[in-house]
Every structure is written in C-alpha cells, then in structure tokens.
Structure 1
Amino acid sequence: MKFLKNKLAVVIILLSVTFLSLIGYSVNREKMSFVENGVGVTINSVQGVFFSGFFKIKNSFKFITNISNVKAENEELRKANSELQSKALEYNTSIKENERLRKMLNFSKKNSKYNYIGADINGLIGNSFSDGFSINKGAKSGIKKGMIAITGDGLVGQVKSVSDNWSIVQCLSNQNIAVTGLVDSTRDNGIVKGYTDENNKSLAQIQRLSLESKIKKGNIIVTSGLGGAYPSGIRIGSVISVHEDKGAVMKGAIIKPYVDFSKLEEVFIVVPPDTKTGEIKY
C-alpha cells in the first residue's frame, strides 16, 4: 500500500512539473498553441483521474478501518434500545399495578370492617378461569371455604377449597357459583349465578326477580350483602338483556361482569369480621 501511494505521488509530481513548465513557457504569450492546449487538457484530465482515484482509495480504506467502530456503536445502540424497552415495560406494568391497588384501597376504605387478604394467582385448574384457579394463600393466612374473591373492578368469585398454603377459587362465570345480588337502581334482590352463552362467552345472570321488576338493559348489579358474609355494593356487572319466565312467575337478566377473568393477576379475599371459625354460609 505504501509503495502504491509513493508511485501515485511520483506520477502526480511529474505531471504537475510538466504542466507548470508549459504555463511558464506560455505565460508571456496571449494564446496557447493547439499542442500546448491539448497537452494542458490531457494533463489536467490525468491529474484529475489520479487525484480522484487516490482519494477514493484513501476513503475506501478509511471506511474499512471504521467498520469495527460502526459495529461496536451499533451494538451499543442495540443494547441501549433493549434497556429502554425493558424500562418502558416495567414502567407500564407498575402503572397498571398501582391503578389496581388504588381501586382496591378505595374499596377497602369504604368497607373497613372487613379484612382483605391479597393473593397471587398460581395457575388455572382447568382449561380456563371459569373452571377455577389456584392462589398462593390458604388456611394459614386465614382463608376459608366460601369467602369471596374480588379485585378493584368488582366481584371475581368464591373460594371453593382450601389447603394450608393455597386455595382454589371459582369465578363468577362458573355455573356452580351463586351470590345474592341487587339491582342498584330498582333495589330488587336476586341470585347471581354463572352463565355461558352460545358463543362460549363467560357471563353471569341474575335470577328470581319479581315479574314487576323494572330492571332493564344497562342497569348495574352489585352484591346485596345479605347475611353479612361479604360487603354490600361490590360491583358485579351490567345488564345486557332481560327475559321473563311467566311459567315460574319470575324475571331474570344476563349480566356482563366488570372483571375480565382472562386478565386476572391477583385477587383479594374478603374476610368477614365474625368468621374466625367454621365455614361461611350464605
């Protein structure tokens, strides 16, 4: 490479000297001869080619030597981008968790006579949340069969079995679940049970309402709190359709739960103030 640079330099110098000699020879003349003009154009063209080629070669080698630096910079940028994405994910997760806890805190303040045991979900019992899920708290934490599970959004379901350090909860959408409900606007009492529609969508329904009930689409259903085993006013869901059973002289309604069971991460078990022993009855 050094030899090539030296050779180029010698050729450029010789051409430059020749060109300067022509300039000196013709400086006192008003017009160059045809030969001088041709030689000058040729020399300029050759010089341009040599200079252009020299700098292209120089820049090419400079680019090659910088490849490792570019790779290192790209790797640093990739790592920085990955770290930023991780921090953004952690930040979004923290925001959602804080929002859930804030809702639960507001609810517990309004129902301070009850205790609340926070528990994480370990996994599903069956194919979906409707079949039930396990939590990481059990009898040693004060949980008993029949206690209800909630989130800041509303009612989740009931504790169906308890071990020392874990328990099984069935969601409200399970047909084996039944809690007393109240139509918030009309104050009609009924029984809320799990319900699955023809599209296998997890819903709920309120039954045993009077035929004279004014329940309608959009009404909010909450827990009634009858018996004192759980707080009144826990949101269950909103009415999406109403139906009559004139044979049984009753009215009922389909409810869309406020809790999205497929997105549960943790629950709070409601502990009534007077259930230190025995199984809870509704």
Structure 2
Amino acid sequence: MRFVDKHKLSIITACLSLVFIVLINYSANSERVTFVEDGTAVILNPVQGILYKLNVNIKETFGFLFNYKRVKEENKRLKEINNKLQRFEIENKLLKKENNRLRKMLNFIQSSTEDYKYIGCDIIGISGNSFFDGFIINRGSKDGIKKRMVAVTADGLVGQVTAVGTNWAIVQTLSNENIAVAGYVERNSFNNGIIKGYKDDDNKLLYRIEIPTLESDIKVGDVILTSGIGRIYPKGIKVGKVINVIDDKGQISKYGIIKPYVDINRLEEIFIVIPKEERNVKY
C-alpha cells in the first residue's frame, strides 16, 4: 500500500513538473504571469529544487565511479616514478661518494714518493670476528705482495700484511696490539716513539704513542706520522691526531692517545705499499 502511494506521488509530481515546464515556456513568450502559473510555481519550486540537487549528486557520484579507475592508475604511475627518482638519488650519492674517494686515492698516489709503488686492493672479507682481527684482500703473491708490507689509504696508515696467498692476503690493522710502528710528532721530530693499538674505557679502538722521556712537549692536537725507522713503513704516512697526553712518571715516559685518521669500520679499498727496490725493506 505504501509503495503504491509513493508510486502515485511520483507520477503526480512528474505531471505537475511537466505542467510547470509548459507554463514556464508559455510565460517566457507572454508579458504577464497568470495566477495559475504563479501558484503552480510556488508549489513545485521546492520539489523541483530537491530533484535538481538529487540529479547533481547522482551525476557527481557516477562521475567519481567512472574516474576512480583512471585516478587509481595515475596514482600508481606517479608512485613508480617517485620510487625511480629515489633510487636515482641514492645511486647518484653513492657514485659521487665513490668518485670522491677514488679521486682522493689518485691524488695520494701522485703525491707519494717515487721510491714506492701502490697496489689497489678490494676488501673481500674479514679473517676473524671483526676488522680488529684482520681482513682479507683480493691481491696476493702473484701481484708482488709479501708479508709485513704496509697497508694504507689516502687518509693514512691502516696496518700490515700478515699472511699471503696466491691471489689473497690478510691485513691486520694497527689497532691490533700485536703490531707496532715507529712514529713521531710532525710539529717536532724530536718526539719519537712507538705506536701501538689502544682501547679506551669505552672500548673504542685508538692508538697510543709512547715517547720514552718526560721532557717531550707532545700535546693535544699534534699530528703523528710514521718515522720510517725499521725500514718497513715508509716515512711520513699519516697516523692520527693526539687527543690526550698522559705522564707516566714511573716509566719516565709520556703517552699520546691518538685518534686514527682511518676508520677501519668504513674501509672499502686499500693500497699495499711495495718498495721499488726490495733491498730498502727488511722482510
């Protein structure tokens, strides 16, 4: 019953709307609006307004549904472009970093002494639990590498070759306490001493230079270089900078705690220093 009433109401509303449209068209050609036209308009205007808004909403809803697939595909395409741009940005940063590192290494070789040649090596693994125990490089005896040869980067001293295979070798860093090198203070070559690995209270890997005299004027900020004594390490390789000085009056010595220039946890490539005349080095 209720459905029939609604159906009748819809028919009546449609008929009245049709009559109203006819009257509007008639009025448009007439100079005056009749009483019937005006009354019909008063009755039907609210209804027609509702129907108009309903029609607009229906159009907008169907428009959204028709465009949804297109918008979704466009968003997917934009996300793919954004992901590509992010990858390009990361690759560009990596290439720029590698280029700067290789340029620095090239400058180091060009500025180095002619008494030595330098073989570039890639690090392909570690020989123990960490870099502290040593790491493996992809060059060996076939490339002229021998035990006790020195490993460096453009930033400074790394350590020493401790084992050699045909196409591989193991390098231990100066952080390992089994390795030592003679060094001196760049500011005053009078301050000579022995450099070894050292761990501070926070277990941080550092170096320590022991100078066997309390008269030494070593101080914080001094740059430490290899001295070349012992004829293993070339003279003048950068080691690090002094960050603390300790007086050991019992041993009549001074210790300079050194922060290395080379961060062994970030190593990727190194150089092995090979003397052009083997007689210059005792192996």
Give the TM-score of the pair, scaled to structure 1.
0.85
- Alignment check: 8 A CA contact 1:144 1:280 kept: no
**Separation in 2, partners of 1:171, 1:49:** 85
- Alignment check: 8 A CA contact 2:16 2:44 kept: no
CA-CA distance at 1:59 after TM superposition: 2.4
CA distance 1:42–1:112, shift in 2 (3 Å): farther
- Alignment check: 8 A CA contact 2:20 2:37 kept: no
Q: Secondary structure at the match of 2:187?
A: coil
Which of 252, 256, 259 does residue 259 from structure 2 map onto?
Answer: 256
Q: Which residue of 1 aligns with 2:145?
A: 143
Q: Which residue of 1 aligns with 2:188?
A: 186
**Separation in 2, partners of 1:139, 1:145:** 9
**Separation in 2, partners of 1:63, 1:276:** 85
Look up the equivalent residue of 1:234 and give its one-letter code.
I
Q: Which residue of 2 aligns with 1:213?
A: 216
CA-CA distance at 1:67 after TM superposition: 2.2
CA distance 1:50–1:203, shift in 2 (3 Å): same
**Separation in 2, partners of 1:184, 1:124:** 33
- Alignment check: 8 A CA contact 1:101 1:152 kept: no
**Separation in 1, partners of 2:32, 2:68:** 53
Q: Which residue of 1 aligns with 2:201?
A: 198
- The answer on 1:237 being equivalent to 2:231 is no
Look up the equivalent residue of 2:250 and give its one-letter code.
G
Give RMSD over aligned pairs: 2.7
* Counterparts of residues 105-120 of structure 1 (less than 5 Å): 105-113=106-114, 114-120=116-122
- Unmatched runs of 5 consecutive residues or more in structure 1: 1-7
- Alignment check: 8 A CA contact 1:160 1:169 kept: yes
Q: How many residues are matched? A: 269
CA-CA distance at 1:228 after TM superposition: 4.3
CA-CA distance at 1:137 after TM superposition: 1.4
**Separation in 1, partners of 2:147, 2:209:** 23
**Separation in 1, partners of 2:197, 2:172:** 10
Q: State percent identity of aligned pairs.
A: 49
**Separation in 1, partners of 2:279, 2:146:** 9
Q: What is the CA deviation profile of residues 203-231 of structure 1, one whole-angstrom value per residue up to 9, with x for unaligned ones?
A: 00011342211100111111112344333
- Alignment check: 8 A CA contact 1:147 1:280 kept: no
Give the TM-score of the pair, scaled to structure 2.
0.84
Q: Which residue of 1 aligns with 2:63?
A: 62
- Alignment check: 8 A CA contact 1:145 1:280 kept: no
Is the deviation greater in 256-265 or in 205-214? 205-214
CA-CA distance at 1:43 after TM superposition: 2.5
**Separation in 2, partners of 1:74, 1:194:** 56
Q: Secondary structure at the match of 2:278?
A: coil
Q: Secondary structure at the match of 1:115?
A: strand
CA distance 1:145–1:55, shift in 2 (3 Å): same
Look up the equivalent residue of 1:56 and give its one-letter code.
N
CA distance 1:276–1:79, shift in 2 (3 Å): farther
CA-CA distance at 1:66 after TM superposition: 2.1
Which of 165, 178, 184 does residue 163 from structure 1 map onto?
Answer: 165
**Separation in 2, partners of 1:13, 1:132:** 96
CA distance 1:41–1:237, shift in 2 (3 Å): farther
Q: Which residue of 2 aligns with 1:80?
A: 81
CA distance 1:22–1:217, shift in 2 (3 Å): closer
**Separation in 1, partners of 2:40, 2:53:** 20
**Separation in 1, partners of 2:168, 2:161:** 11
**Separation in 2, partners of 1:163, 1:208:** 36
Q: Which residue of 1 aligns with 2:270?
A: 267
- Alignment check: 8 A CA contact 2:182 2:226 kept: yes
* Counterparts of residues 15-30 of structure 1 (less than 5 Å): 15=17, 17-21=19-23, 24=26, 28-29=31-32
**Separation in 1, partners of 2:242, 2:183:** 12
Look up the equivalent residue of 2:84 and give its one-letter code.
E
CA-CA distance at 1:92 after TM superposition: 0.9
CA-CA distance at 1:245 after TM superposition: 2.2
**Separation in 1, partners of 2:127, 2:40:** 94
**Separation in 1, partners of 2:274, 2:182:** 17
